[in-house]
């Protein structure tokens, strides 16, 4: 990728702080700076993938790992009554940071449909 680093890439590179709750070789999870629920965690790949629309067949294992990580974190965080996983994609999808991220929201009753 060319151009300026995204804010999430700066977090991966340790250039700006984040409230990191989990890390492994492939991904990082940290608390969202503007939480929309009592639990609002972002799970991101360390690899620079701009959005879900940029995932390739070769990313299958990574994509699965991200989903499994969300599930494991939800369990660890005690979200036994349920939670929501959101991947905003592109302008109309409401994506504001061009680095793939999975939102994990929980700890309150969530409404549907979203806006
Ligand atoms: P989206 O709108 O789906 O692209 O989500 C981007 C999310 O990143 C928003 O929920 C922001 O609150 C969150 N965010 C932006 N900057 C930071 C940061 N430095 N640390 C943690 N979360 C952030």
Q: What is the Å distance from ligand 1's center to 97 Cα? A: 7
Give residue 2's pLDDT: 58
35 lines ligand 1 (CB under 6 A): no
Helix or strand run (H / E) with residue 7: helix 7-12
Question: Closest Cα partner for 66 from 40, 101, 31?
Answer: 101
Pairing of strands 83-86, 27-31: unpaired
Give residue 112's pLDDT: 96
94 lines ligand 1 (CB under 6 A): yes
**Structure-block tokens of residue 48:** 């620079």
Band of residue 115 on the pLDDT scale cut at 50, 70, 90: confident
Domain definitions of the chain by residue range? 7-106
Q: What is the Å distance from ligand 1's center to 79 Cα? A: 21
Superfamily assignment of 7-106 in CATH? Answer: HIT-like (3.30.428.10)
Q: Report pLDDT digits (tens) over 101-114.
A: 999 999 999 999 99
34 lines ligand 1 (CB under 6 A): yes
Band of residue 85 on the pLDDT scale cut at 50, 70, 90: very high
Q: Which atom of ligand 1 has the smallest separation from the CA of 95?
A: 4
Cis preceding linkage at 63, omega within 30 = no
Give residue 1's pLDDT: 52
């Amino acid at each position: 990728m060319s151009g300026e680093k995204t804010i999430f890439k700066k977090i991966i590179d340790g250039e700006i702080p984040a409230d990191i709750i989990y890390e492994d070789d492939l991904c990082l999870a940290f608390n969202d700076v503007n939480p929309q629920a009592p639990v609002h965690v972002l799970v991101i790949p360390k690899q620079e993938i701009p959005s879900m629309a940029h995932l390739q067949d070769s990313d299958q294992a990574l994509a699965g790992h991200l989903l499994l990580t969300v599930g494991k974190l939800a369990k660890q965080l005690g979200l036994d009554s349920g939670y929501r996983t959101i991947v905003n994609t592109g302008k109309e999808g409401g994506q504001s940071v061009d680095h793939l991220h999975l939102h994990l929201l929980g700890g309150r009753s969530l409404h549907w449909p979203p806006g």
